[in-house]
Chains A and B, each alone.
Chain A
């Protein structure tokens, strides 16, 4: 099945950038780039290498990939934001975040783009919990995710199931907003709240995710507790600092 080049309402071809934050992704990054080139030749991509300690940068250089490198480590928030700053500067119409570890299936890119193309949504989130296919994460994590999901619903009135999904697309307006103001540390759930607070329409679409291919994600109890407290607080503060807008 071939997907036509996305055309906006104005009839012009849309410029699309895939932002790939990468930290120590030497094992997966080449595969991911090949996938994008093969499955979605009509999009540009940009790997943002967050000062990786392995051969990520050498690989990117060798295969002639489009990438930029942070001179010091910024963490996921600053890295993704760097991608948005670039997208904003280069005048992209749509930006899509894809994790560098290869857990996101590139064949879903067109599904993420569609609602923005049709102007149904400003922010589209790829969710693994709608059709409940693919890797569903551990029970503990699912509990944490549904807690944050409820918290976001209470704070914003919007229900998003997969709040930690890093597989999302935004339109021109939110490229600009995220370039100026993107949450740090553990940004995904907070970015949803920020999106709603800036008046964005959010749509969740079903995707399948794999288990993070390389790298070990640290399932440490204290780290999870810290994560939950930090993110919950960030969501609440984000909500308060915008006042009563809605």
Chain B
């Protein structure tokens, strides 16, 4: 069993956590699809705190010594998952930025070339008149 004091602290902590998530989502500072993992992790932890038997059950499945250990391992697992998701998001964005930079560079060159031919055409027109 988790000590009552710890359970209370965790509940308050989780409450703040969800408020924070909500604020971020409302401000659109966090896309819902990226927040999903955070929400799932939060819900899991809340369930563990409210129904300690669930935690005991998980503890026994994995052969862990104490409930606290089980809780910490789970939190760690979620954090690692979220970090991996972040790295993958950052990598995907790097690819997108690269494509944008290349496209932009090509467009800039084509515009510059167009302007050059246009201004030389204008110069030719001036000579005629």
B102 to A70, Cβ gap below 8 A?
yes
Q: How far is the CB of A227 from chain B (nearest CB, A)?
A: 20
- CB neighbors of B among A52-80 (8 A): 66-72, 74, 78
B118 lies within 8 A of chain A by Cβ: no
- CB neighbors of A among B43-76 (8 A): none
Interface of A is mostly: mixed
Q: Give the docked Cα–Cα distance between A68 and B104 (Å).
A: 9
A residues sitting closer than 8 Å to B (CB atoms) are 48, 66-72, 74, 78, 81-82, 85-86, 89, 184
Q: Which of B1-9, B10-18, B80-88, B105-113 contacts A (4 or more CB under 8 A)?
A: B105-113
- CB neighbors of A among B94-121 (8 A): 97-98, 101-106, 108-109
Q: Return chain B residues, CB-CB under 8 Å to A85.
A: 102-103, 106
Q: Provide 26 A-B residue pairs closer than 8 Å at the C-beta atoms, listed in order of the A residue.
A: A48-B105, A66-B109, A67-B109, A68-B105, A68-B106, A69-B105, A69-B109, A70-B101, A70-B102, A70-B105, A71-B101, A71-B104, A71-B105, A72-B97, A72-B101, A74-B98, A74-B101, A78-B98, A78-B101, A81-B98, A82-B102, A82-B105, A85-B106, A86-B109, A89-B106, A184-B98
Number of residues from B at the complex interface, CB < 8 A: 10
Q: How far is the CB of B88 from chain A (nearest CB, A)?
A: 15
Knowing that A81-B102, A184-B98 are A-B contacts, what are 6 other residue pairs whose CB atoms are under 8 Å apart, sorted by A's residue number?
A71-B101, A71-B104, A71-B105, A72-B97, A82-B106, A86-B109
Question: From A72, which residue of chain B is reached at the shortest CB distance?
Answer: B101
Question: From A49, which residue of chain B is reached at the shortest CB distance?
Answer: B105
Q: Return chain B residues, CB-CB under 8 Å to A67.
A: 109
Q: How far is the CB of B115 from chain A (nearest CB, A)?
A: 12
Q: Return chain A residues, CB-CB under 8 Å to B104.
A: 71
Q: Return chain B residues, CB-CB under 8 Å to A69.
A: 105, 108-109
Q: Return chain A residues, CB-CB under 8 Å to B98.
A: 74, 78, 81, 184
B102 to A78, Cβ gap below 8 A?
yes
Q: How far is the CB of A229 from chain B (nearest CB, A)?
A: 18
Q: Give the docked Cα–Cα distance between A70 and B107 (Å).
A: 11
B101 to A82, Cβ gap below 8 A?
yes
Q: Return chain A residues, CB-CB under 8 Å to B101.
A: 70-72, 74, 78, 82
Q: Return chain B residues, CB-CB under 8 Å to A86.
A: 106, 109
Q: Return chain A residues, CB-CB under 8 Å to B105.
A: 48, 68-71, 82
Q: Give the docked Cα–Cα distance between A70 and B98 (Å).
A: 9
Q: Give the docked Cα–Cα distance between A68 and B98 (Å).
A: 14
Question: From B94, which residue of chain A is reached at the shortest CB distance?
Answer: A184
Q: Which 4 residue pairs are nearest across A and B when measured between Cβ atoms?
A: A68-B109, A82-B102, A68-B105, A78-B98
Q: Give the docked Cα–Cα distance between A54 and B105 (Å).
A: 18
Question: From A90, which residue of chain B is reached at the shortest CB distance?
Answer: B106
